[in-house]
Amino acid sequence: MEKIRIGVIGVGYLGKFHAQKYMAMPDVELVGVADANPESAAEVARFCKTAAFGDYRELLKEVEAVSVVVPTSLHHEVAKTCLLAGVDVMLEKPMTTTLAEADDLICIAIEQERLIQVGHIERYNPAVLAMAEHLTQPLFIESHRIHTFKPRGIDVDVVLDLMIHDIDIILSIVASPIKTIHTVGVPVFTRTTDIANARLIFENGCTANITVSRISKDNMRRLRIFQPNSFISVDYGKKELAVFRLGRERDENGLPREEVTKACYMHQDALEMELADFVRNVRERREPKVSGRDGRRALAVAQEIIAQIKAHAEQHRHLLDA
């Protein structure tokens, strides 16, 4: 089988892991890595036994596909250049900074007959993949994504940095348009929102309550889905799935006994699965699990949440200025 020729654009904290995963794939040739910082490119290139490029446009001449792992503000510019060069794109989340930019990339990809896959990695979390067979009719969803503070990623607020993962997961499992959104969020350590809550109410009656923070003492990434006769619990970090159901057996009070199914998938690597799927999509010309349209849909909801938070902040400016 002929190897897919791939490169990585942007080899900072996350990009270097993209390069390492591609390097280990037997059906991929990691042609090179590019970064605005020549030292970073050279260091990752040495480790991955590949070439370093100071200008990513030179890399595009040698590859069929790339991972774009640059700051969000550069996603549109870099991904557009790649698509126009006839290169398939694995684009890290959030897809772009604006919906107009997302629409532009989707149109260019269609015109150029190229792929865009958006890096919502939680779709490839093995516990999330295993959850699918247990879903029936979600009625209430509760999501918590709580992180300790880290300087990286603060070029965007917590909604685009963290919450967009949960937005994408919830939109993928609730087969209904959103009816209303209610939000609250505040800046604490940065000039943008650091902690936020959003309540999404869907037209079919399902409600999702999402809480995110990047200023906590501890890390927690959990999802709970309540539906008729069962509820599902996912621990993203531990890659654990638990399903609780009402059983047929009765207890001493005549009530149904709870049946619990648990599984752990720590041996599976979500990034490796995501990038392997991208390689298959490039080879077989398949629509990605997380397409450009999916990335745009999650971004649209995130932008509405951000707009509501900003409007609330303006209305209560006296509290922030105190």
pLDDT in tens, 54-92: 999 999 999 999 999 999 999 999 999 999 999 999 999
pLDDT of 22 reads 98
Which candidate, 206, 214, 211, 207, places its Cα nearest to that of 222?
211
Range(s) of the chain covered by CATH 3.30.360.10: 123-268+302-315
Query: From the centroid of its chain, how far is CA 213?
Result: 16
In order, the DSSP letters of 126-145 are HHHHHHGGG-S---EEEEEE
Compute the radius of gyration of the chain from its Cα atoms: 21
Note if the bond before 94 is cis, omega within 30 degrees: yes
Q: Do strands 4-9 and 65-68 pair parallel, antiparallel, or not at all (unpaired)?
A: parallel
pLDDT of 257 reads 77
pLDDT of 153 reads 59
Main-chain phi, psi angles of 10, to 5 degrees: 95, 105
Just give the CATH number of 4-114.
3.40.50.720
In order, the DSSP letters of 32-45 are EEE-SSHHHHHHHH
Give the architecture-level CATH label for domain 123-268+302-315. 2-Layer Sandwich (3.30)
pLDDT of 192 reads 83
pLDDT of 107 reads 98
pLDDT in tens, 154-192: 667 899 989 999 999 999 999 999 999 999 998 888 888
Q: How far apart are CA 47 and CA 30, in angstroms?
A: 12
pTM over 0.75: yes
Range(s) of the chain covered by CATH 3.40.50.720: 4-114
Structure tokens at 70: 């640059």
Ranges of the chain whose pLDDT falls below 70: 152-155, 254-256, 316-322
pLDDT of 200 reads 98
